[in-house]
Amino acid sequence: MDQMFAGLLDLTSGQGVMILIGGVLIWLAIAKEYEPTLLLPIGLGAILANIPGSAAIGADGEPGILTLLFDMGIRTELFPLMIFVAIGAMIDFGPLLQNPKMLLFGAAAQFGIFFTLCLAVYLGFSLKEAASIGIIGAADGPTSIVVANRFAPHLLGPITVAAYSYMSLVPIIQPPVIRLLTTAGERKIRMDNLHFRPVSQRTRILFPVVVSVVAGLLVPSATSLIGMLMFGNLLRESGVVDRLSRGAQNELANIVTIMLGISIGAVMTADQFLDTRTLMILGMGIVAFVFDTAGGVVFAKTLNLFLKHKINPMVGACGISAFPMSGRVVYKMGLEADPQNHLLMHAIGCNVGGQLGSVVAGGLILALVG
């Protein structure tokens, strides 16, 4: 009888709180649809990991299912890299290839990463922990997982939760920052003068190959991140392996997402998660997103000082990697400012550039801090 209630009797207040947090994540996923594909499995994983003596974590020295998945897929970085294959297969780099200048916004909007890195060091985190916290600003879950796993595995739980939660909150975080930094007149700037050049199939096929080689030579630490992203894109653009491309976009993405999400829950144990540092990380995650947005907008405004055909500074905010939320947010804001101003192609091109920018930022951080 005692054994039957052992779990209940051994439940600590911290574990109770974590079970509640897991419940909140599930509620956010279902009721608010905040990144449900990840927050839902993370939420249940957190609940399973905090049940006293949970067989999901392991008992009698034998690892449980969550520990096994974590060791197999997160510690080895296999799951996030497989997610990159899926993302690469889903992304159409066409709008970026038609207007490659947008890549520069994908660089400028990584500013939040480095600002937050310095802030975290200032607040007492070690450089490696700070780099892992800063990378939340990559607005790119798999990159955050890879960097945090390498530099601060003990902070993986809060960093992953922050990265995925704030990505889904982009429509709430970005608009006030953009409004604060732009005038009504700037938000009405049309970009009809910018020409979208047609892109050949050869260019589309060569792009992932050349990017893999160039990025690999310049930032070898980013080879696996960019290589997997570009591999997925090559499957898509080659036109000869449609079955594999569809498999990467659907089956691979779905299966790995399930395993990734639930195994992240394994590190959300009360002793690791319930800490003032977790609250600080969640706070700094927002700072990273805010300064990413500001970096992109301010860079666009600076470029406008020299350009004949002005850029709508709101487009700069799409340089963060949260795809396609950020592009949609700016498109809608453009229509609010001027119902005839269609910024979608520019915004999406910039947003796709942000995808590359975040991966390059992750690789550079791995190289500079590692």
Partner 1 sequence: MKSLLLAAAQLAADPAESDVLAEALRVSGIGMLGIFVVMGLFACMIMALTILFPDSEGDA
Q: Which residues bind partner 1 (CB under 8 A)?
A: 96-97, 100-101, 103-104, 106-108, 110-111, 113-115, 117-118, 121-122, 126-127, 130-131, 197-203, 206-207, 210-211, 214-215, 218-219, 353, 356-357, 360-361, 364-365, 368-369
Report the nearest approach of partner 1 to the CB of residue 121 (Å): 4
Report the nearest approach of partner 1 to the CB of residue 103 (Å): 4
Residues in the chain: 370
Report the nearest approach of partner 1 to the CB of residue 154 (Å): 18
Closer CB to partner 1, 11 or 209, in the complex: 209
- Kindly calculate the radius of gyration of the chain based on its CA atoms and give it in whole angstroms: 21
Report the nearest approach of partner 1 to the CB of residue 295 (Å): 9
Closer CB to partner 1, 52 or 370, in the complex: 370
Peptide bond into 324 cis (omega under 30): yes
Closer CB to partner 1, 211 or 286, in the complex: 211
- Other CB atoms within 10 Å distance of the CB of residue 308: 6
Closer CB to partner 1, 151 or 164, in the complex: 151
DSSP conformational letter for 33: -
Q: Cα–Cα distance between 121 and 155 in angstroms, integer?
A: 15
Closer CB to partner 1, 276 or 340, in the complex: 276
Interior/surface letters 135-145, b for 16+ CB within 10 angstroms, e for the rest? bbbbbbbbbbb
Whether residue 344 contacts residue 337, with contact meaning beta carbons closer than 8 Å, is answered with no
Q: Cα–Cα distance between 116 and 294 in angstroms, integer?
A: 13
Report the nearest approach of partner 1 to the CB of residue 48 (Å): 37
Q: Cα–Cα distance between 315 and 347 in angstroms, integer?
A: 5
SS3 content of the chain, % helix, strand, coil (to 5): 75, 0, 20
Closer CB to partner 1, 203 or 238, in the complex: 203
Report the nearest approach of partner 1 to the CB of residue 210 (Å): 6
